[in-house]
């Protein structure tokens, strides 16, 4: 039975020329840069809150046993 992780979100062509693979990568990098630029504030807030939450887990009382 298929699990959700078995299904790709997108279908990538299998047989790409070297040039087409390079252009696809360039496009994806430019798309990533545009998304990071557009959502910079939201991404920064998210990663800061996630980082602080992880630090809180590691800065708990060291004498307190983990279990």
What pLDDT does residue 40 have?
96
What are the start-end ranges of the E strands in the chain? Answer: none
**Mind listing the pLDDT tens digit for each residue in 28-44?**
999 999 999 999 999 99
What CA–CA distance (Å, rounded) separates 37 from 65? Answer: 43
Are 16 and 24 in contact by the 8 Å Cβ rule? The answer is yes
d(CA 56, CA 50): 10
pLDDT the model gives residue 51: 77
* Position 63 pLDDT exceeds 90: no
More confident: 65 or 50: 50
């Amino acid at each position: 039975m298929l699990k959700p992780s078995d299904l790709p979100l997108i279908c990538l062509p299998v047989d790409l020329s070297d040039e087409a693979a390079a252009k696809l990568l360039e496009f994806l990098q430019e798309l990533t840069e545009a998304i990071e630029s557009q959502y910079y504030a939201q991404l920064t807030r998210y990663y800061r809150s996630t980082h602080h939450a992880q630090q809180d887990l590691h800065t708990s009382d060291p004498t307190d046993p983990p279990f």
